Structure 1
């Protein structure tokens, strides 16, 4: 008899569906190009330029370009960094209170990503203020969800 520890028991189960390559593709939509993302970046920057940071942050955190290539994601990241660094310290808590659960999670992703690039490291104090106020307001839940999420910004 064969070594029973090496038997693939899933092969004998007709209901065990084998994962195909198509099953492992990300659930989000098709590839997003920079041209498709430009209107959103412009809208985000114009809201920030007019002083409406609450709207700018909500636009930035809604529907992030998960399926874009790295260059497109980087351009969007720079626009998000620009908005986050323009917000005054005392307005951060107000803006955080307006974010949905998904937007909080996306914000954590962008804060970590911004802190990992040289442009964001120059603005480290502001990003850490965002991070501090986010954890004071919502606890470690957004961080835990960030660590377990496979989608990257």
Structure 2
């Protein structure tokens, strides 16, 4: 007779299955190629001075899943490059132009950057965070903290 109501063996880390792994049939190399293509499009938009377009491209279709950590790091750098190229006075207008899903993805990248202060400019990220919270409210923070689709750390 067992006194447990929960099967604790099912919670073993070795049995962890990433729920996003089965959502794509792409290989890590294909995802990295897409991120590199995205990086090229972002550089082109930044070169033309169209920072809003660059931000939308950078935030679009982020790679999720444990197999794509390299692509996630590359995509994170692309997003950070865009965030660092925006003037502080333009942040509010850019944030207000984003849809709620893009705001959530932006918040994920902001927290990713804040978790690595040696690699990213936290002052810039805090300016972005302030404007995101003003625009999206605390809901964006809660959604990001509870979402299983995460941006992997370095």
Same fold, TM-score > 0.5, yes or no: yes
Larger Rg: 1
Q: Distance in 2 between matches of 1:108 and 1:134?
A: 7
Provide TM-score, normalisation by structure 1.
Answer: 0.79
1:32–1:65 CA contact under 8 A, matched in 2: no
Residue equivalent to 2:115: 116
Q: Distance in 1 between matches of 2:18 and 2:34?
A: 25
Query: 1:97, CA displacement in angstroms?
Result: 1.2
The CA deviation string for residues 1-55 of structure 1, in whole angstroms up to 9 with x for no partner, is: x56x5578xxxxxxxxxxxx8x963263234432232111110121122211111
The CA deviation string for residues 116-144 of structure 1, in whole angstroms up to 9 with x for no partner, is: 22221xx1111100001111112111100
Structure 1: gaps of 5 or more residues: 9-20
Structure 2: gaps of 5 or more residues: 7-14
Residue equivalent to 1:147: 145
Please say if 1:25 is aligned against 2:24.
no
2:35–2:74 CA contact under 8 A, matched in 1: no
Residue equivalent to 1:53: 51
Residue equivalent to 1:38: 36
Segments of 4+ in structure 1 off by > 3 A?
5-8
Provide TM-score, normalisation by structure 2.
Answer: 0.78
Equivalent pairs, count: 137
